[in-house]
Amino acid sequence: MIMDGLIQSRDTDQEVNACQAGVEDELRRSARSRNPTERMLAFQREEAHKREKRLIHLYEQWKIQACEAREQLKSDIPDNQIAALIDMLEKGRDNVNDIYTEIRNHFTPSSETRRRVDACEAVTKDIVKVCYERMAAIDGDYDSETVRQRLRELLKRDYARSIYGSTVSPSSRHSSDNSSHLSTGSIIAAKRVDAAAELAAREAEYKMLLEEERQNERIRLLEERQNKDLEAQKCELERLKKEIPQAEDVITEIPIGDPEVKRVQTLNVQALRQVNLSDLLSKFSSWYKATQAVARLLRRAKGDKSTIHSTVQEREEARCIILRDLQGQVYPEEIKLLSKGIQLPSRSKLHHMDDFLDQEGILKVGGRLKNVSLPTSQKHPVIIPKNHHITKMIIAHYHQQIQHQGKGLTINEIKSNGYWIPGINRAVAGYVHQCVKCRKLRRSTEEQRMADLPPERVDPSPPFTYCGMDCFGPFSTKQGRKVFKRYGLLFTCLSCRAIHIEMLDDMTTDAFINGLRYFIDIRGAVRRVWCDKGSNFVGAKNELSDSLKLDDASLRTFFYEAMAIVNSRPLTVDNLSDPGSPQPLTPNHLLTMKPVEALPPPGKFIKEDLYALM
């Protein structure tokens, strides 16, 4: 709606254009042209961009606050919340106006910027007015019909588009003209104020350009004055130099060949250092990469500039060249003697190897294996020193090929590929010791710290007082024509480490209880037994636990048997050990008038009697 009023006010635009034309005429009437420097223009553009960006940011924050206030006004909210909405909107409007004032003081704001500020001012005024009307309704002085009309205007879609700067459709212009919140007169006044502000900004810019021109003029005058002083000082110095008298007998130049001058001879010495191929390969850490590099170098030397992967033949040729250069650097005397057909002297380290030079000039180990059906590389391996960088690369290459399996396998792999290293054991052992992966794989494992021994292991006690128990087997035995499985029951003493072994017919609970009773009968009572969770052990524990439990009948029988035993004790102790004495008198003689004889329990002997308590 605000933008519609601005578009329709054509008279106001003409006034603004007239003001701008007057300002331009005033600037054009200046005696001298004041053109700002490039640096100043860049600075002005940067400052204008920063302030425009700041205004847009504050305007977007205000839009969010206006939308939130509009949504909250749709519902009933208390008085304090309405007051908070008013403060929030007015604060956002003041922030936008402050940054807009800064822009007008230094630059000419764009039409889009002026549109944002006008929209912010008008919409804030409308929402604040509705808020005050709502607060008046809460206080008691309130026109409900007017407020409903204002709320309907706030809820209109065109009003929301005016906040976000959307273009108003032609169909809604008639309604917006009727409900416009700013009159045409107020719009014209605002345009006049903007024109005056723009004129003031132009005047400020003009004054700033004048001040900059004055500063540049002062700097130019100072530079000219300094240049004149410098020229005067130079002229004075030249004059003083010319006035210095020169002595006639003083010779400033010494003639060549003067006998009083000491002769000095200078020699330039240039040291020539011969770099071998093996020295150039010191930057490689892989034998494969080193042979690849030499193979490509040989291909380039032959004129082939292709970048395809090297072939097996090229790599073999590169290997021979590297080994021949290495041997020529380490064993020059031996190669020289062997090339002349002279046998190596006894002082040579290679004397005992029966060395010879092959067709390619490589030093190899001799021997008596010429007729053996083995590859030539294994019958006559190449000799290489143990402490050279190339040797270390070869050891690393074959050590990695066998997946770090140790010193012995690495040595076998090196020898099987045709290399003989004097002192190979120490060389390979040193590399394996330094190999990071081998150190990780072969380091000692962590060991669990053992706990203290239990008291049963250290306290003195009779044998088999505390013991451990376990079963082992089976063992096959033959009875007649049948084969049976038998098992062993092992008891071990925890204090003296003695053992006792019983044979079990099977792994049932009954067989284990019988074996335990055999052990107790032979070795005596046991205080505690340790065993695993075997089914026969668990079943025996349950059987023994059940046997210790009595029902009413068993308890009554136990009482009667105990009573009979107590009543059978002798009342006198005379002649108890004399076989010829009469039967001793007991309480049963007095109660039953007859002695009580111990009879076996009635009934048939059954399997459960095996586990009866003794």
For residues 463 and 496, what is the distance between their CA atoms, to the nearest angstrom?
A: 6
The pLDDT tens digits of the residues spanning 542-571 come to 887 877 777 777 788 888 888 888 888 888
- In this structure, of 243-257, 384-398, 516-530, the range with the lowest mean pLDDT score is 243-257
pLDDT of residue 395: 94
Task: Give me the mean pLDDT over the 399-412 stretch.
Answer: 91
Task: Give me the mean pLDDT over the 331-341 stretch.
Answer: 89
Q: How confident is the model at residue 243 (pLDDT cuts 50, 70, 90)?
A: confident
Domains 325-440 and 459-547 share a fold: no
| 389 contacts: CB under 8 Å, gap ≥ 6 | 278, 281, 282
Task: Give me the mean pLDDT over the 487-510 stretch.
Answer: 92
Helix 79-106, helix 38-72: angle, nearest 10: 160
Tally helices (H) and strands (E) across the chain. 23, 8
More confidently predicted of 494 and 166: 494
Q: How confident is the model at residue 8 (pLDDT cuts 50, 70, 90)?
A: very low
pLDDT at 142 over 90: no
- Residue 583 DSSP class: P
Helix 407-416, helix 424-434: angle, nearest 10: 130
Percent of the chain with pLDDT over 70: 78
Phi and psi at residue 272, to the nearest 5°: -100, 120
Token pair listed for 39? 């640096």
C-alpha 579 chain-centroid distance: 97
- Tokens 């008198």 locate to 585
Q: How confident is the model at residue 178 (pLDDT cuts 50, 70, 90)?
A: very low
Token pair listed for 420? 């003989």
Token pair listed for 409? 């396998």
Task: Give me the mean pLDDT over the 313-321 stretch.
Answer: 91
pLDDT at 6 over 80: no
pLDDT at 168 over 80: no
Phi-psi label, residue 198: left if phi above 0, alpha if psi -120 to 50, beta otherwise: alpha
pLDDT of residue 614: 43
Task: Give me the mean pLDDT over the 332-338 stretch.
Answer: 89
More confidently predicted of 83 and 430: 430
The pLDDT tens digits of the residues spanning 91-124 come to 888 888 888 888 887 777 888 888 888 888 888 8
Q: Which of 395, 400, 389 is nearest to 425 (CA)?
A: 395
pLDDT of residue 10: 45
Task: Give me the mean pLDDT over the 33-40 stretch.
Answer: 68
| 362 contacts: CB under 8 Å, gap ≥ 6 | 320, 323, 324, 327, 382
Q: How confident is the model at residue 580 (pLDDT cuts 50, 70, 90)?
A: low
pLDDT of residue 91: 87
The pLDDT tens digits of the residues spanning 517-538 come to 899 989 988 899 999 988 888 8
Q: How confident is the model at residue 575 (pLDDT cuts 50, 70, 90)?
A: low
Q: Domain ranges for the chain, please list them.
A: 2-213, 283-324, 325-440, 459-547, 552-571+583-611
- Tokens 């019983």 locate to 502
**Among the residues of 422-488, which ranges form H helices?**
424-434, 436-441, 455-458
pLDDT of residue 30: 47
Whether domain 325-440 has CATH 1.10.340.70: yes
pLDDT of residue 172: 40
pLDDT of residue 21: 58
Q: How confident is the model at residue 426 (pLDDT cuts 50, 70, 90)?
A: very high
More confidently predicted of 41 and 97: 97
- In this structure, of 419-428, 439-448, 507-516, the range with the lowest mean pLDDT score is 439-448
Q: Domain 459-547 sits in which CATH superfamily?
A: Ribonuclease H-like superfamily/Ribonuclease H (3.30.420.10)
